Amino acid sequence: MSGCGCNKESSCDDTKQKQNESETDSCKGKDSVTEVSKSSCCGNELQQGANSDEKDTCGSNQPCSTQSNSCCGSDSITSPEPIRGSEDTATFISDYNIPKMDCSAEEQMVRMTLSSLVDVKRLVFDLPNRNLKVLHNGENNEITAKLEALGFGAKLNKTEAYENKEHAQEASTFLIPKMDCSAEEQMVRMALSPLHEVKGLSFDLAQRQLVVFHTNGINEITTKLEALGFGAKLVETVKATGELPETPDPTKQAKVL
């Protein structure tokens, strides 16, 4: 019996019970937070721990997803998918240099910014070269203003009339001595994917050859291939006949690399 008239053992028991209840509630709270952190907005569990040190496509340890929430949307680096309507209705193509656009989060911000413009029909991203091509109708003033407002340093290079052709007019054969595996093939695909003149690619890795099916633009195609450092040389250009082979799909290339 203590001097204050209370039972010491009873007091300790009550205190322990309260502590246990407090710890239980605290654990429940932590479990709840843990469950929320494990669940992504798509309803899937995020992988943590072993993969936390891996770098993403932005080249840093901080994932782009922490900068922009796009886990349920399209995460395509150089993706040419239409955002409204079809490229068939576009009459102009505007070329932009965007120095501060180098990861998928910034690409997503550009998409969201231009998605409200009814005249924008298609976007073609080239993140490694900080380049964007916009297929559109009408003037480019509003497009340029929207891009400049993002603060990525967007500058309009040129605007040209756009002509969409279903079939390639020419087939150019290139000899590429240092292209002998799938990784180098993917690099070639990535290099050519931003060029709207390129309609299809046919690879022969064993012979180190590439056939590019295209509508004009042979100088730009050659420049892109030479810049890779694989020793690309143009062998011949002939009139294209028959059906096109697989088209250069930059969405697939982004996933592979």
Instruction: Tell me what pLDDT residue 117 has.
Output: 93
For 93, 99, 153, 210, 241, the CA distances from 158, given in Å and listed in that order, are: 8, 16, 16, 29, 32
pLDDT tens digits, residue range 116-169? Answer: 999 998 888 888 889 999 999 989 999 999 999 999 999 999 998 876 655 567
Q: Give Dmax over CA atoms of the chain in angstroms.
A: 107
Instruction: Tell me what pLDDT residue 165 has.
Output: 53
Instruction: Tell me what pLDDT residue 163 has.
Output: 65
Instruction: Tell me what pLDDT residue 164 has.
Output: 60
Strands 233-239 and 170-175: antiparallel
Rounding to the nearest 10 degrees, give the CA dihedral for residues 88, 90, 91, 93. Answer: -120
pLDDT tens digits, residue range 2-21? Answer: 444 445 444 445 544 555 55
Instruction: Tell me what pLDDT residue 242 has.
Output: 53
Same fold, 53-164 and 170-256: yes
Domain segments of the chain: what residues?
1-38, 53-164, 170-256
Whole-number Å distance between alpha carbons of 112 and 100? 16
User: Nearest CA to 162 among 250, 220, 74, 88?
Assistant: 88
DSSP 65: G
Q: Rounded to two decimals, what is the model's pTM?
A: 0.41
Task: Specify which of 10-14, 59-63, 178-182 reaches the highest per-range mean pLDDT.
Answer: 178-182
* Residue 7 phi, psi (nearest 5): -80, 120
Tell me which CATH code domain 53-164 carries. 3.30.70.100
Instruction: Tell me what pLDDT residue 41 has.
Output: 37
Residue 90: which pLDDT band, with cuts at 50, 70 and 90? confident
**What percentage of the chain reaches a pLDDT higher than 70?**
57
Tell me which CATH code domain 170-256 carries. 3.30.70.100
Query: Contact 32/26 with Cβ under 8 angstroms?
Result: no
What residues contact 18, with CB distance under 8 A and at least 6 apart? none
Q: Has residue 31 got a pLDDT over 50?
A: no
Instruction: Tell me what pLDDT residue 44 has.
Output: 41
**247 is written with which tokens?**
């088209």
**162 is written with which tokens?**
């756009």
